[in-house]
Amino acid sequence: MATSTMDVLHFHHTPFYCEENVYLLCKKLCSDGIAKAEGSDLFVVFISNEKKQIPLWNQKASKRADGVILWDYHVICIQIKQGDVPPLVWDLDSTLPFPSPLPSYVSETIRPSFQLFSDYNRLFRVVHAPIFLRSFASDRRHMKDSGGKWVEEPPPHEPIVAEDGTVHNLHEYINISVADTITDVTISSVKDVIFTQKNGVVIKDNQLEEFICQLSSLE
């Protein structure tokens, strides 16, 4: 089944602030009726590892023909769908169709069949969007140098503050290690965690597609 694409310019994007871009993306998908009003069909996915060096392909910021770049972390949104429609990946930094079906995104951006040194293995923190939208906060301190100057220009909107008043917890999402990963990705074992825990669950790159498809079965 063909996936209809959208103009990525319809959504806010500040380079190097992918976590805030995805936060605003989720809000707009909900307000525009593209996702459910409360975002229950959306999941925010943080990609990183202990070394903070993860290769992803088909990225706009790359200077290579194959679009590969080494990010310290990256953030995307995955929307689960009903019936035979595959989950959709919303990646504002990708050169692939926007959104892209999860199977093609995995094969063209993550490329799990590509043999990587262990230092470059990707880990995925999957967080239910309604929880993320309530809990996430960033005062952008990670984008300032030791002298307090911006490393990259910040977004024009005010920093995001969590509902409980927290002003910064980005590190809780992007600090990901193998020790955090779950081994059993069956829905029966993780559904209580994924729908209740602020920091979601952490899985390995060869588990992503299976895990998301199981979430789709709950819709």
Q: Which of 26, 74, 93, 205 is catalytic?
A: 74
pLDDT (average), residues 3-32? 94
Give 201: exposed, middle or buried? Use CB within 10 Å, 0-12, 13-18, 19+. buried
Q: Which residue has the tokens 């229950």?
A: 40
If you average pLDDT over residues 189-208, what whole number do you get?
91
Note the pLDDT tens digit of each residue in 52-87: 999 999 999 999 999 999 999 999 999 998 778 899
Q: Residue 84 has what pLDDT?
A: 82
User: Is 72 assigned a catalytic role?
Assistant: no
pLDDT tens profile 199-212:
999 999 889 999 99
pLDDT above 90 covers what percent of the chain? 81
The rounded mean pLDDT for the chain is 93
Q: How far apart are CA 22 and CA 5, in angstroms?
A: 17
Q: Residue 153 carries which DSSP code?
A: P
Say how far apart CA 161 and CA 52 lie, in whole Å: 25
**What's the mean pLDDT in 14-19?**
97
Q: Is 74 a catalytic residue?
A: yes
CA distance 71 to 86: 26
pLDDT at 32: 96
Catalytic annotation on 18?
A: yes
pTM to 2 decimal places: 0.95
Check 26, 30, 77, 91 and give the catalytic one. 91
